Amino acid sequence: MSTAIKTGSVESQSIDNPSLKYFKVPSDFTLESGTQLQEAIIAYHTFGRLNAKKDNVVWVCHALTANANPMQWWPGLIGSTNLINPDEHFIVCANVLGSCYGSTGPKNFNPETGERYLRSFPTLTIKDMVKAHGLLMNHLGIDEIFLGIGGSMGGQQVIEWAVESPDVFKHIALIASSAKSSPWGVAIRSAQRMAIEADPSFFSSSPKGGWKGLEAARAMAMTSYRTDTAFNKTQAQQATFDEISEAESYQRYQGEKLRNRFDARTYYTLSQAMDFHDISKKYKSIAEALSRVQAKALIIGIEEDLLFSKAEQSVLADGINQSELHFINSAYGHDGFLVEAKAISALLKNFLNKHK
């Protein structure tokens, strides 16, 4: 796999993923913690072309375990025949710092030591991710973003960015997200990190360390991503003396599936970054922070979401000057932000038509 990268350059990866590009941050990247990250790399995808007016940019921010290709994980909303499409829009999605899909993260080698970061990777925040997005935006020659959109951790990035750089966005769409991580959300994610820590290999020097803990963490996460209705309907078969239940089989499958494509230290790092999310850190209150947003905002909540409550969506809508709030039903709960693309597309289309 070719990863030749020059400072400020755009390079395609090898035949494994020819559309993935890399941007090397020109100087040391100072994190919110004060730690400096050397030779930081941002992996990203673009689809379509920037038009002459530079007013057709759609910036997609991804959630916890996603990559930088929204065509893969947001079908029905983003694609050649969808509302957000490369014929009309210049679509950008950057892999967040700390991830294992191309941007600098725990699996990368530390230039200072020549060893993989692993558990020594510095603490990240949503603000750090957004700062990296801003550098990439400037590198791509983008002055304004027509639409910034994201769900869950992706929505946290969009609102952080819209607060800190109010003149960047014309429109934002926040789906199943929040202005500040709730104690409930922190509790759920910290329990998952405890599961990862219970795997002794997490603290080893193996780049695959923590994989059994990751499986357990993912299984735990699924109970907050979905609903009891969904599990009771689709995993109804009970256990027997000879066979485990459908519910247990499904949970084990989900854990193994994530283990095969993700990384335990990455999961640990990014889930912790979500815990630190609070747009009011520099301000007197969340309301003061949200009042800085100049973009017209669409907030979409999911009625059955166990992870990001309806009240959290109302906080966003109440605090942003030009906003509208809608709720959709989904038996998938929080995962509805990925699954209910048709309903989200309808709301987004109507919103954009009203605010042309």
Distance from CA of residue 42 to its chain's centroid?
Answer: 14
Nearest of 66, 21, 17 to residue 262 by alpha carbon: 66
d(CA 32, CA 48): 33
Alpha helical stretches, state H, the chain: 70-73, 126-139, 153-164, 183-197, 211-225, 228-234, 246-261, 264-275, 286-290, 310-319, 336-339, 341-354
Q: Computed from CA positions of residues 254, 257, 259, 265, in that sequence, does the dihedral angle turn out positive or negative?
A: negative
d(CA 175, CA 301): 6
Query: What is the token pair recorded at 94?
Result: 């950057």
Q: Computed from CA positions of residues 216, 220, 226, 232, in that sequence, does the dihedral angle turn out positive or negative?
A: positive
User: 257: number of CA atoms within 13 Å, CB side?
Assistant: 10
* 242 flagged as catalytic: no
User: 101: number of CA atoms within 13 Å, CB side?
Assistant: 22
* 305 flagged as catalytic: yes
d(CA 182, CA 45): 31
Active-site position among 181, 277, 334, 335? 334
Active-site position among 62, 128, 133, 152? 152
d(CA 317, CA 277): 18
* 171 flagged as catalytic: no
Q: Give backbone dihedrals phi and psi of 176, rounded to 5 degrees, phi first.
A: 50, 55
130: helix, coil or strand? helix
Q: 248: how many CB neighbours lie within 10 A of its CB? A: 13
Residue 233 identity:
K
Classify residue 243 by burial, with Cβ atoms within 10 Å: 0-12, 13-18, 19+: exposed
Active-site position among 305, 323, 326, 330? 305
Q: What is the largest CA-CA distance in the chain?
A: 67
Catalytic residues: 152, 305, 334
